[in-house]
């Protein structure tokens, strides 16, 4: 009985840790350990078949899938109005984006010319997986940084640039709803 309660407490502690950690690798390892605690709880509740399935799926298959998906996010691709001097090697917007990419261990890739018919920002068959589209603010100075609201990186970029008056981050549920080719 005490062992059962102990595994419940450990599972709760691991769940809280998983939710509060920012490091992806730590989160994946913690999830795997959490799954082991849950499988022990199933075992002590006389469900050994469910415990074995939990070990196989929760401690092995899901963490491998998470590792693969996290490892694919290595670059932050920016396109749009990036030909101005603000995006040159010494430009303020480029420095901001480089600082952001360094913080999250990403490679910044600025695409200066992208064919319009390949500018598919959302959907299953993406030709270019664009994370951020830049649009200059006509008459106001500065830039709109446009990205998907479901993107964790875009939410973090918005938090980082709240005090910056040159940049306004726009998070959209579907970038194609804004005009697709971003010519607005």
**3, 66, 14: which is closest to 36 by C-alpha?**
14
Q: What is the pLDDT of residue 52?
A: 96
Say whether pTM exceeds 0.85: no
Give the start-to-end residue ranges of the domains of the chain: 2-72, 75-178
**136, 166, 132: which is closest to 147 by C-alpha?**
132
Coil, helix or strand for 161?
A: coil
Residue 71 has pLDDT above 80, yes or no: no
Residue partners of 18: CB distance under 8 A and separation at least 6? 27, 30, 31, 34
Higher pLDDT, 123 or 90: 90
DSSP lists the bridge partners of residue 108 as 76
C-alpha–C-alpha distance, residues 95 and 160, integer Å: 13
Give pLDDT tens digits for 114-147: 555 444 444 444 455 678 888 888 777 788 888 8
C-alpha–C-alpha distance, residues 110 and 103, integer Å: 17
């Amino acid at each position: 009985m005490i062992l059962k309660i102990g595994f419940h407490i450990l599972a709760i502690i691991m769940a809280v840790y998983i939710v509060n950690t920012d490091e992806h690798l730590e989160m994946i390892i913690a999830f795997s350990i959490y799954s082991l605690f849950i499988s022990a709880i199933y075992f002590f509740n006389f469900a050994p078949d469910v415990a074995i399935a939990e070990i196989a799926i929760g401690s092995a298959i899901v963490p491998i899938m998470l590792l693969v998906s996290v490892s694919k996010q290595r670059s932050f691709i920016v396109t749009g109005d990036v030909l101005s001097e603000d995006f040159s090697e010494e430009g303020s917007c480029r420095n901001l984006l480089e600082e952001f990419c360094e913080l999250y261990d990403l490679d910044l890739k600025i695409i200066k010319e992208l064919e319009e018919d390949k500018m598919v920002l959302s959907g299953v068959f993406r030709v270019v997986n664009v994370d951020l589209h830049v649009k200059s603010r006509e008459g106001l100075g500065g830039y709109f940084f446009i990205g998907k609201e479901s993107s964790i990186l875009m939410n973090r970029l918005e938090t980082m640039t709240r005090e910056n008056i040159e940049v306004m981050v726009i998070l959209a549920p579907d970038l194609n709803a804004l005009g697709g080719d971003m010519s607005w």
